[in-house]
Homo-oligomer: A and B are copies of this chain.
Amino acid sequence: MDNTFPARRGVVLILSSPSGAGKTTLTRMMLQDRDLDLTLSISVTTRARRSSEVDGIHYRFIGEKQFIAARDAGELLEWAEVHGNYYGTPRAPVEAILAQGRDCLFDIDYQGTRQVREKLSADTVSVFILPPSMKELRARLERRAEDSRDVIEKRLENARREIARWKEYDYVIVNDDLQRSFDDLIAILRAERQRRPRREDGMEAFVEKLLSE
C-alpha cells in the first residue's frame, strides 16, 4: 500500500479513546494488517510485570532510577505517573522508525498525545475514537465481564472526561461499525503519507531531477 515515492518521513499515528470505544480492537487490526507496516510503540514502566505480560511486548519493565534518569535526560516523548508507577515512551526507537520512512502507532490518552505533539508536531497524526452512544459504551464494558459494577461506573466517569477532549485531535471517528472505522483509519494513514510537508525533502530532490531532465 505504501507507494510514497520519493522517500518521506514516517507518521506518528496516535489513537485515543475512552475504554470500550474500540481502540484496542482497532489497534490490533491495524497491527495485524502486515501491508500497513505499522510498528507499535512499546512503553516503559516501573510497575511490576504481571504473570500475563511479556517484557518487551506489553511493556519494557525497568527500574525507577533508570526511568527517572531517562526522563530527566529528555529521552521520553511522554510520561505519566499513575498510582505511584511511572509509564513512558522512549524517543530513540520512534525516531529510528520515522527516519526510515516507516510509521509508528501510539495507543495513548489525551495527556500523552499533548506531550508527543509538543515534541514531534510535524510527524503527529491524532485520531479520537468515539462510541456511538454512552449506552453502547456501557454495554461493551459490561459484555467484557471483566470488571465489577463499581469499576464500570468508574470507567464511564473517566470516559466522559476523555470524550470532552475530542477537539484536541486531528480526526474524529464515531465507531458505530468496526469495519468502517478500520477502513477510515487506513484511509487516514494512506492520505497522511501523501501530505506534502511530510514529503518535502524527498520531493524537493525528485522535482529538481525532474526539471533538470
In the bound complex, residues from chain B placing their C-beta under 8 Å from that of A191 are 171, 184, 187-188, 190-192
Given contacts A133-B210, A134-B213, A160-B211, contact A184 B190 (CB under 8 A): yes
* Count of chain A residues near B, Cβ 8 A: 42
Query: Is there a chain B Cβ closer than 8 Å to A58's Cβ?
Result: no
CA distance A134 to B130 in the complex (A): 46
A112 to chain B, nearest CB (A): 18
**Main secondary structure on A side of the interface with B:** helix
In the bound complex, residues from chain B placing their C-beta under 8 Å from that of A5 are 174, 176
Contact: A169 with B184, CB < 8 Å? no
CA distance A121 to B194 in the complex (A): 20
Contact: B203 with A166, CB < 8 Å? yes
Contact: B173 with A196, CB < 8 Å? no
**Interface readout for A164-181 with B: 1 if CB under 8 Å, 0 if not?**
101101111110110010
In the bound complex, residues from chain B placing their C-beta under 8 Å from that of A200 are 167
**Interface readout for A194-205 with B: 1 if CB under 8 Å, 0 if not?**
111001100100
